[in-house]
Amino acid sequence: MCSLEKRGNLFILTLTGQNVEHRLNPEVLSSIISALSRAKAESTRGSALVTVSHGKFFCNGFDLDWVNATGSKQEAQQRFDYSLDCLTQLVQAFISLPMPTVAAVNGHAAAAGVVIPLCHDYVVMRRDRGVLYVNDLEMGLKIPELYMAFFRAKTSGWALRDLVLRGLKIKGEELLKMGIMDAVYDGEEGVINAGMKMADDLARRKWDGEVYAEIRKGLYSEFCGMLGIASKAIGTPKL
């Protein structure tokens, strides 16, 4: 499923998911949500989270074997919708995490799997391996409005079009140009170390976690609005 490790100020979330492609089903998603709850409970000023995984895949999307392992098309659609609901809950958990977050993308991220790195504040990726692939169009699936709002929060203009309307498998360097990636590194170790260093640097700013989360939610205002997530005003500056 996943594991959470604390190393100094850093929370390290490792995705293992269902099988080697780190696929997501409600059980996996719920275990990641639990891990994030634990991180939130133990967070202090100066905490940061870095999400990593190992091997060829970062996350290849929903566990379609599980989705389709039912008697009818209707039940399969229900399982798919349920997976999507769980993913939405996970995104909310990431967005309201009271600390900076970094995703170190070591391999392919496709379909629903694209959402996970993108709900981090910073994303670093391997230069030499791995693509981001939003394949809804290829699958004949309309992207839910909520997730269009999510993608619109991350990018705009031609980059947004290339992300969702072109069926592209996009490498790290191109994602950098699109403003979707923060930096690219060579090798799995390279990108994971870079991710941890970035998280460390952010942690050293010792931001107030609650304030950080509220400001972050504002960057996803359309998405949060659609989910009815309230925001809090914190007006007591520490000058």
By the 8 A CB rule, do 183 and 142 touch? Answer: no
Q: Does 156 bind another protein (CB under 8 A)?
A: yes
- The distance of closest approach from Cβ of residue 94 to another protein in the complex, given in angstroms and rounded to an integer, is 22
**For residue 40, what are the CA distances in angstroms to 4, 51, 82, 96, 239?**
12, 14, 25, 9, 25
Reduce the DSSP state of residue 172 to 3 states and report it: helix
Is there binding between residue 64 and another protein (CB under 8 A)?
yes
Q: What is the dihedral of CA 141, 146, 147, 151, to 10 degrees?
A: 130
Q: Tell me which of 143, 153, 183, 229 binds another protein, using CB under 8 A.
A: 143
* Per-position x/- string for 67-106, each x denoting binding to another protein as judged by CB under 8 A, each - no binding: xx-------xx--x--------------------------
Nearer to another protein, 62 or 207 (CB): 62
Write down the least CB distance from residue 159 to another protein, Å. 7
CB of 157 to another protein, least distance (A): 3
Shortest reach from residue 236's CB to another protein, in Å: 32
Spell out a b/e string for 135-165, using b for 16 or more CB atoms within 10 Å of the CB, else e. bbeeeeeeeeeebbbbbebbbeeebbebbbe
- Does position 165 bind another protein by CB under 8 A? yes
Q: How many residues lie near another protein (CB under 8 A)?
A: 28
- As a whole number of Å, the CA-based R_g of the chain is 17
C-beta of 73: minimal distance to another protein in Å? 9
Q: Which 32-61 residues touch another protein, going by CB under 8 A?
A: none
What gap in Å lies between CA 211 and CA 234, rounded to an integer?
A: 7
d(CA 80, CA 42): 33
From 22-30, 115-123, 155-163, 210-218, span contacting another protein (CB under 8 A): 155-163
Whole-Å CA distances, 158 to 71, 120, 227: 42, 22, 27
- The site for another protein (CB under 8 A) is made up of 64, 67-68, 76-77, 80, 136-143, 145, 148-149, 152, 155-161, 164-165, 167
